[in-house]
Amino acid sequence: MAKLMKRKTKTLIFIFIISVILSLKFPSEIEDERAKREKLEKEEMKFSVFLQRESAMSTQGGVISSADELHGLEYDFYRQNCPQAESIVRSTMAKIYSQQNDISFGLLRLLFHDCFIKGCDASVFLDDSNGNKNHSVERQATPNKTLRGINEIDMIKEELENACPGVVSCADTLALATRDAVVLAGGPFYPIFTGRRDSTQSYFDEAMDEIPKPNDNITQTLFLFSRRGFDERETVNLLGAHNVGKISCDFIRDRLTNFSGTGQPDASVDPNFLNELRLACQDSSSTDHDGTVASMASRAMIFQGLSSSVPSGARFDNHYYQNLLKGRGLLFVDQQLMADENTARFVAVYASDDGTTFRRDFSRSMVKMSNLGVLTGTLGQVRNKCSFPIRQS
């Protein structure tokens, strides 16, 4: 992969030099020159697509090791019916990100919630306003309904519908947009193959049972991840997503005062960190306990940066793991990675270098997560609006 990148850089420099030389030619050749440059640009694009594909398919150091793991997905599935699909996602995502640069974290979590429940089938988007007022959709099963990014995916999907009505699935839109958002936020690039289709239903009960909870112990967490085919190392790696984004104090308040009914704070929190967290979370404790529904904006949030020992702004690095080594994990589920010998060993591995190992593994884990239980071929459907299934006749 590194080698390929180097080759790509070399090629880009080469193309750059050529275009400089071309631009020095005589005015009479301007038309000719423009055509040539366009041709070069096309070549460059083709080449970068080729590189993506190569890096995706190569077994050594590559991200996908076998056709098996593709589950029927294809490279550039929309090449015929909507060749501009991926560039529409990329440019719309970039526009959204430029106005709201924490959107990447919302999407990353949204993808996790979608893919963990019956696969990456966009079931997480389905709304209960479609006749089902029983609050029995996945969206309602998320701890305190704090998923973000649904509206943004709707925006991207709308652009796709304008260009190619009824072609690109919501599930692919989410997978592609999340990948692009991760890259925009400084995370590693990973290849996304396409051809996912959308579910016709939502799975409330599964979401209640199978989405890991912030206070789950390590046994339960490993169990839930292993049901999705993730081993211990991959589980430790995926939780590294918590090196970015924010966490509401609601999810950690019990750790600070009365942990699982013991009347004591959680003993696995470092004492200094305990004080920092109490300070950071005290503002909202009164509003939350009098039963008023606090709006998202007024809820105290802890940014992953608080637990960080590195300068803020650093992202997708390994400070998450370095903090776990010091008892400075935000959620109980985070700190529990130190409670098991094997997972603690992987924490130490990820904490030990400049973040390269974490990022490399994270690319692989994200590919694997993005391909979980996908619907392809004639399964499922392609929704026009991500919140509503198309009525089957």
Ligand X SMILES: *[C@@H]1O[C@H](CO)[C@@H](O)[C@H](O)[C@H]1NC(C)=O
Catalytic residues, by residue number, are 113
Listed residue (146, 137, 257) closest to 200, CA to CA: 137
Residue 165 or residue 229: which is nearer to ligand HEM going by CB? 229
- Residue from 144, 298, 352, 356 touching ligand X (CB under 6 A): that is 144
- Name the binder of 258 from ligand HEM, ligand X, none, CB < 5-8 A by kind: ligand X
Are 88 and 176 a contacting pair, CB within 8 Å? Answer: no
Interaction residues for ligand X, span 262-281 (CB under 6 A) = 263
Ligand-binding annotation for 121, yes or no, is yes
- Name the binder of 242 from ligand HEM, ligand X, none, CB < 5-8 A by kind: ligand HEM
Residue 181 or residue 300: which is nearer to ligand X going by CB? 300
Task: Output the CA angle 176-14-56, nearest 5 degrees.
Answer: 30
- Name the binder of 328 from ligand X, ligand HEM, none, CB < 5-8 A by kind: none
Q: Is 320 in the site for ligand X (CB under 6 A)?
A: no
Q: Is 251 in the site for ligand X (CB under 6 A)?
A: yes
Task: Give residue for tokens 């990353």.
Answer: 108
Residue 88 or residue 247: which is nearer to ligand HEM going by CB? 247
- Name the binder of 393 from ligand HEM, ligand X, none, CB < 5-8 A by kind: none
Q: Least distance from C-beta 253 to ligand X, angstroms?
A: 7
Read off the tokens for 175: 């997978």
Helices (H) and strands (E) in the chain, counts: 16, 2
Ligand-binding annotation for 212, yes or no, is yes
Listed residue (36, 43, 155) closest to 94, CA to CA: 155
DSSP structure string for 20-73: HHHHTS-GGGHHHHHHHHHHHHHHHHHHHHHHHHHHHH-SSS-S---GGGGTT-
3-state secondary structure of 246: strand
- Residue from 261, 271, 313, 377 touching ligand X (CB under 6 A): that is 261
Handedness of CA 77, 80, 81, 83 (dihedral sign): positive
Q: Least distance from C-beta 343 to ligand HEM, angstroms?
A: 11
Listed residue (185, 331, 197) closest to 253, CA to CA: 331
3-state secondary structure of 237: helix
- Name the binder of 146 from ligand X, ligand HEM, none, CB < 5-8 A by kind: ligand HEM
Binding site for ligand HEM (CB under 6 A): 102, 105-106, 108-109, 112, 143, 146, 148, 212-214, 221, 238-239, 241-242, 244-248, 251, 331, 333
- What one-character DSSP code corresponds to residue 241? G
Are 188 and 182 a contacting pair, CB within 8 Å? Answer: yes
Contact region for ligand X (CB under 6 A) — 9-17, 33-41, 102-110, 136-144? 136-144
Q: Is 219 in the site for ligand X (CB under 6 A)?
A: yes
Ligand-binding annotation for 205, yes or no, is no
Cα 249 to Cα 110, 147, 271, 378, distances in angstroms: 19, 15, 17, 44
Contact region for ligand X (CB under 6 A) — 31-39, 165-173, 217-225, 267-275? 217-225
Residue 85 or residue 330: which is nearer to ligand HEM going by CB? 330
Provide the annotated binding site for heme b: 242
